[in-house]
Amino acid sequence: MALAIFDLDNTLLCGDSDHLWGDFLVELGVVDAKLYQQANDRFYREYNEGKLDIFEFLHFSLKPLSEHAPETLYDWREQFVSERIEPIILPAGLELIQKHREAGDTLLIITATNSFVTTPIAQRLGIEHLIATTPEMVDGRYTGQVAGTPSYKEGKIERLKQWLASNQHNLDGSCFYSDSHNDIPLLEIVDRAIAVDPDEALTQHAKNRAWPIISLRE
């Protein structure tokens, strides 16, 4: 079975779940609204510009997980997925997933967004396999730290190689769908790279490499 790999944010979703989770915490009133919103927006700009310090961002984004009981966090997350994620799931993305499922492909999401946020989203999309940045958990509580390698830029390749070894899979016939120039390292190693509603930098790179460019938003 060939591996069909999907980025999540701004690929299968019409928005960024990581940034939206930060906005949601602001709306809940559980973080300092002004300071948190400013930082959340700054990190998102830096991500889009390819300048993000992933560890600085994770120190910021995972900290709220350490400040609340998991049961409370899971209640918030359920509300978040229902109110913020469900409306931005792209119907054409669901059709693309189904197309690969019917072809017998193994479906995998790989995302820089942490697994606390993305696990229920992957489940909603019907995709069993997920590689995401892992928040550290000790004695049943989140610590605010990251466990292992963040699945960001070249880190996605490292995490994917670990997953391939653990699942006795390979990249023969593989494809990867992404919107972001941050994913160029991984796009370069699959058999078929597809740019999905790509940012400007990825658009140019895809044209130079003669990769297909598609839209799931039309």
Greatest Cα pair distance in the chain: 49
HSE, side-chain direction, 13 A CA sphere, residue 59: 5
Helix or strand holding residue 202 (H, E) = helix 200-209
Cα 156 to Cα 112: distance, rounded to the nearest angstrom: 8
Does 64 score more than 80 pLDDT? yes
**Of 53, 69, 86, the domain-final residue:** 86
Q: What is the DSSP letter of 197?
A: S
Pair (144, 96) in one structural domain: yes
**Model pLDDT for residues 77-117, shown as the tens digit of each residue:** 999 999 999 999 999 999 999 999 999 999 999 999 999 99
Helix or strand holding residue 23 (H, E) = helix 17-28
Q: How high does pLDDT run on average in the chain?
A: 97
Pair (201, 106) in one structural domain: yes
Q: Is 29 left (phi over 0), alpha (psi -120 to 50) or beta?
A: left
| Band of pLDDT at residue 179, cut at 50, 70 and 90 | very high
Does 51 score more than 80 pLDDT? yes
Cα 27 to Cα 124: distance, rounded to the nearest angstrom: 23
Pair (94, 202) in one structural domain: yes
Pair (77, 116) in one structural domain: no
The pTM (predicted TM-score) of the whole model is 0.97
Cα 194 to Cα 147: distance, rounded to the nearest angstrom: 30
Into how many domains does the chain fold? 2
| Band of pLDDT at residue 27, cut at 50, 70 and 90 | very high
Does 218 score more than 80 pLDDT? no
- What's the N-to-C CA distance of the chain in angstroms? 30
Which strands form 213-214's sheet, in the order they lie side by side? 141-147, 129-138, 106-114, 3-6, 175-178, 192-196, 213-214
Average pLDDT over residues 152-173: 98
Average pLDDT over residues 175-201: 98
**Of 86, 111, 139, the domain-final residue:** 86
**Of 52, 86, 120, the domain-final residue:** 86
Cα 32 to Cα 37, 105, 166, 215: the distances in Å are: 8, 44, 41, 37
According to the model, what pLDDT value does residue 61 have? 97
Cα 129 to Cα 120: distance, rounded to the nearest angstrom: 12
Average pLDDT over residues 46-64: 97
According to the model, what pLDDT value does residue 102 have? 98
Pair (57, 142) in one structural domain: no
According to the model, what pLDDT value does residue 66 have? 98
Burial of 40 (0-12, 13-18, 19+ CB in 10 A): buried
Share of the chain above pLDDT 70, in %: 100
According to the model, what pLDDT value does residue 42 have? 98
Cα 24 to Cα 27: distance, rounded to the nearest angstrom: 5
Pair (27, 113) in one structural domain: no
Q: Is 7 a catalytic residue?
A: yes
Domain membership of residue 200 as a residue range: 3-14+89-214
